[in-house]
A and B are shown apart, each in its own frame.
Chain A
């Protein structure tokens, strides 16, 4: 158990340090989602009342698209210098590697969300009517839902031709229930018209089911060559 955590921590710290020095993923994600915000702003031009109904969808669509750029780099980074092959032959458990990558991606996407949410609030004049603190569990569970499957499918699409295109093609259909819950939950809180409790529970179920499935199948995917 101890070695599992030490492997997770070591890999995660390495990824964060790499990202801190290059800032490749974070910069591209931030600029990408900024573009999404601006394009949506020009195409909708909503009033405050309307924006409350649509901004939940816009925010999550922006984050979903932006996170794909980060997820694509997760494993591609390891292909250089045959790092992935080194992982394969190392005695470290495959799941530790997966959890480290997923947690690292979670941190990147969380930083993106923390920086971009104020921009959405400013551009769309959003004022929350419902209980705002409930947005936090939805954001955490929703981000994990995107990131856990994204990390898994990114590892899967490594083995395919044109892998950058393959990741969203695999990830988006499976993520539909999570995206529906995130968007509907966020809209429910912003408008204050209904309770977001159901969607939070659904997101939690989604996270538990797919985290278990990823951990059960990741060893197979990593060693498939």
Chain B
């Protein structure tokens, strides 16, 4: 495993450099926005990566909570299976298809729904027990970094194109900001919580945050939105060459995020091993001291 890490690092650096070259040189200039639009190749892949990481955090947190009792574990497992099957079937029913926004293909939605059980079982298989919590903290931290990139590049792009830095009524802008706030408060809780039950509290907060996101979305829904329609699966349109560069860029960002997550995860594992050994050491020395007078008196 240790040999894969440097190889993957070199691969990621090459991929990032290639993506930058494609974004700056190969991709065609936008007819309306000019060269300013090229920030999309950093903005959008960061956003997708951040959302993916938050999604992983949510799945890991729910699974951590569910594993507390065998009964809830089984129940949540069947609920996840039901969501997967029901979601895929529902996407091909005519009344549901009519509710989808125009341009969004039912098969695309079905694939996305199918990702929920797939992620759930994969994460459960590869991250048993306490490792679920380590995955949750890793994905939240790296997700917040990528979300920060989105929130910084967004206004830089908006200023020349929309004429304003920030559009308070915009639905995706505001919900990304709220998502960022929720996950920062999640990290704060982890930092401030001193008890042994931090993992449980943090997992509960992550579930609350995930429940909050759709409500945030609807609460801003009433305002007119300034953002372009979603490019993939939505009604917006994009030059195929641009889309090609965007996907390469996303792949580079995913590799980069994976690398960062990997090293952060290893760090977390090592940190907990150290904490555990410290705890064992103090337990051991404490019992040695306690047993000393006893052993003397017994003599």
Contacts and interface: CB of A to CB of B under 8 A. Distances in A.
A156 B205 contact: yes
B182 interface: yes
Interface residues of A, number: 31
Contacts of A202: 215, 218-219
A176 B209 CA distance: 11
B188 A225 contact: no
Interface string A167-179: 0011011101110
B178 interface: yes
B223 to A, nearest CB: 9
B195 interface: yes
B167 interface: no
Interface size on B, as a range, is 20 to 34
A39 B179 CA distance: 31
Contacts of A54: none
B108 interface: no
A176 B216 contact: yes
A139 to B, nearest CB: 17
Contacts of A174: 182, 185, 208-209, 212
Contacts of B211: 209-210, 213
Chain A binding surface, main DSSP class: helix
B110 interface: no
A176 B208 CA distance: 12
Interface stretch (B17-25, B196-204, B259-267): B196-204
Interface in A198-223: 198-199, 202, 205-206, 209-210, 213, 217, 220-221
B207 interface: yes
Contacts of A176: 178, 181, 212, 216, 219
B65 A220 contact: yes
B194 A177 contact: no
B207 A162 contact: no
A184 interface: yes
A224 B197 contact: yes
Contacts, number: 93
A184 B222 contact: yes
Contacts of B111: none
B195 A225 contact: yes
Pick the most buried of B68, B198, B205, B212: most chain A CB atoms within 10 A of its CB.
B212
B126 to A, nearest CB: 25
A177 B185 contact: no
Interface string A121-160: 0000000000000000000000000000100000010011
A66 to B, nearest CB: 21
Interface string B212-230: 1001101110100000000
A14 B265 CA distance: 47
A220 B188 CA distance: 20
B277 interface: no
Given A184-B219, A224-B197, 17 more contacts: A156-B205, A160-B195, A161-B193, A177-B215, A177-B218, A177-B219, A180-B216, A180-B219, A199-B219, A206-B215, A213-B207, A217-B65, A217-B204, A217-B207, A220-B200, A221-B200, A225-B197
Interface of B: 65, 68, 178, 181-182, 184-185, 188-189, 192-195, 197-198, 200-201, 204-205, 207-209, 211-212, 215-216, 218-220, 222
12 contacts: A159-B193, A161-B193, A166-B189, A174-B209, A176-B178, A176-B181, A177-B178, A217-B207, A220-B204, A224-B201, A225-B195, A225-B197
